[in-house]
């Protein structure tokens, strides 16, 4: 292809056990997918799943060294953490069944859906898109991808700030489990290899400040650690 300028390289994630990288196509996020978090955001009852996107360029790959740094973002006084299980697809399709979704999964990662909560709340009040509350530079913190063909249905999920527990839940508390949520998503968009899905956060979201260190854990995976600067 004869481009008018060189296209930037795609966002990528390291993969456990190989030097090859996982290329990120799109980032879809599930809203209010744990009951206790929905309650803390002022909602009750089981809704159909809903989704929002983060730009692929908002992905910041992180690991457990503590050397990953998220610059405190612009235009917010209320940056909040949302620890989430991230699903990475290697195949796509439309109108997938949950069983078909299971065949599309490449692996999983630990992630943080970082949120400018004040901008999101303003947008909600004004009936405007959440976009800039959710999608901004380094707003999708995602750890190395763990390849597996297994459908993940259970496992403790936790978030610590400066070694203090802030969020705690279990993947088995997802209102819309992994395969069902992605099957639902595939009714609205044709999914592609490289699409990643952040599956929602348990209760306990709260603000972080410059200097704080976040550690996110999901049972069975290496934790990730990020410092706000």
Stretch that binds Mn ion, among 16-24, 58-66, 197-205, 211-219 (CB under 5 A): 197-205
Smallest gap from Cβ 150 to Mn ion, in A, equals: 23
Task: Choose between 15 and 141: whose C-beta lies nearer to Mn ion.
Answer: 141
Query: How far is the C-alpha of 72 from the C-alpha of 194, rounded, in Å?
Result: 27
Task: Choose between 117 and 215: whose C-beta lies nearer to Mn ion.
Answer: 117
Stretch that binds Mn ion, among 8-16, 74-82, 96-104, 172-180 (CB under 5 A): 74-82
Task: Choose between 51 and 72: whose C-beta lies nearer to Mn ion.
Answer: 51
Quick check: 201 binds Mn ion (CB under 5 A)? yes
Query: How far is the C-alpha of 174 from the C-alpha of 84, rounded, in Å?
Result: 11
Quick check: 212 binds Mn ion (CB under 5 A)? no
Query: How far is the C-alpha of 65 from the C-alpha of 14, rounded, in Å?
Result: 14
Contact by Cβ (8 Å): 86, 109: yes
Quick check: 85 binds Mn ion (CB under 5 A)? no
Quick check: 174 binds Mn ion (CB under 5 A)? no
Give the binding-site size for Mn ion (rule: CB under 5 A).
3
Smallest gap from Cβ 55 to Mn ion, in A, equals: 15
Centroid of chain to Cα 155: 16
Distances (CA, A) of 114 to 59, 78, 142, 198: 10, 10, 11, 11
Task: Choose between 82 and 217: whose C-beta lies nearer to Mn ion.
Answer: 82
- The residue of the chain with the least Cβ separation from Mn ion equals 113
Interface residue with Mn ion, options 70, 105, 113, 194 (CB under 5 A): 113
Q: Say what the alpha-carbon torsion angle 170, 26, 32, 157 is, to the nearest 10 degrees.
A: 20
Task: Choose between 68 and 201: whose C-beta lies nearer to Mn ion.
Answer: 201
Q: Say what the alpha-carbon torsion angle 133, 14, 87, 50 is, to the nearest 10 degrees.
A: 20
Smallest gap from Cβ 216 to Mn ion, in A, equals: 12
Smallest gap from Cβ 143 to Mn ion, in A, equals: 16
Quick check: 82 binds Mn ion (CB under 5 A)? yes
Smallest gap from Cβ 170 to Mn ion, in A, equals: 16
Contact by Cβ (8 Å): 80, 114: yes
Query: How far is the C-alpha of 63 from the C-alpha of 221, rounded, in Å?
Result: 11
Q: What are 223's two structure tokens?
A: 């934790």
Q: Regarding beta strands 140-142 and 83-89, do their DSSP bridges make them parallel or antiparallel, or are they unpaired?
A: unpaired
Smallest gap from Cβ 187 to Mn ion, in A, equals: 21
Interface residues with Mn ion (CB under 5 A) are 82, 113, 201
């Amino acid at each position: 292809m004869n481009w008018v300028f060189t296209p930037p390289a795609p966002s990528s994630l390291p993969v456990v056990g190989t030097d090859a990288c996982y290329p990120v196509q799109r980032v879809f996020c599930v809203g209010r997918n744990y009951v206790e978090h929905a309650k803390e955001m002022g909602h009750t009852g089981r809704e159909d799943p809903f989704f929002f996107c983060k730009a692929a360029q908002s992905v910041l790959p992180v690991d457990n060294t503590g050397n990953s740094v998220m610059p405190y973002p612009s235009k917010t006084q209320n940056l909040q953490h949302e620890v989430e299980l991230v699903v990475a697809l290697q195949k796509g399709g439309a109108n997938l069944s949950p069983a078909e979704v299971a065949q599309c999964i490449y692996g999983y990662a630990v992630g943080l859906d970082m949120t400018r909560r004040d901008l999101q709340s303003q947008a909600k009040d004004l009936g405007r898109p959440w976009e800039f509350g959710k999608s901004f530079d380094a707003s999708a913190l995602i750890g190395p991808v763990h390849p597996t063909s297994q459908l993940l249905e259970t496992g403790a999920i936790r978030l610590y700030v400066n070694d203090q527990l802030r969020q705690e839940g279990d993947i088995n508390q997802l209102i819309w489990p992994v395969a069902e949520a992605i099957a639902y998503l595939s009714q609205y968009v044709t999914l592609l290899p490289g699409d990643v899905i952040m599956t929602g956060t348990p209760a306990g979201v709260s603000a972080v400040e410059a200097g704080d260190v976040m550690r996110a854990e999901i049972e069975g995976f290496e934790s990730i650690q990020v410092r706000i600067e």
